[in-house]
């Protein structure tokens, strides 16, 4: 998954969760207010891993490694991986009215 897609989907799912939670609070507690309208801070701390491989049949390449991958190979290879972290926050104004 590309980084921009991960960030976008995370924000969408947090927004949907807050809106659904607001409806639940209003319904179950007979509250007119529910969840308060305010800015919601979303903190991101993302690890990005890159993998450099030297394979005997294809040469070297650099690729971004996914969190989960499955498969098998009979090619001998040597690899070096490095990890970088990205930390940032966004403020989302989510209107629950």
The pLDDT tens digits for 80-89 are: 778 888 999 9
DSSP state of 1: -
Q: What is the predicted pLDDT for the residue at 40?
A: 87
Mean per-residue pLDDT of the chain:
77
d(CA 12, CA 5): 10
Share of the chain above pLDDT 90, in %: 27
pTM of the model: 0.60
């Amino acid at each position: 998954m590309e980084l921009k897609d991960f960030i976008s989907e995370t924000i969408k799912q947090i927004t949907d969760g807050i809106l659904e939670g607001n409806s639940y609070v209003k319904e179950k507690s007979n509250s007119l207010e529910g969840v308060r309208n305010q800015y919601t801070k979303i903190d991101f701390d993302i690890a990005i891993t890159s993998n450099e491989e030297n394979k005997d049949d294809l040469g070297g390449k650099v690729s971004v490694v996914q969190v989960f991958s499955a498969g098998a190979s009979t090619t001998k290879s040597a690899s070096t991986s490095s990890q970088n972290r990205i930390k940032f926050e966004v403020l989302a104004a989510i209107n629950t009215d």
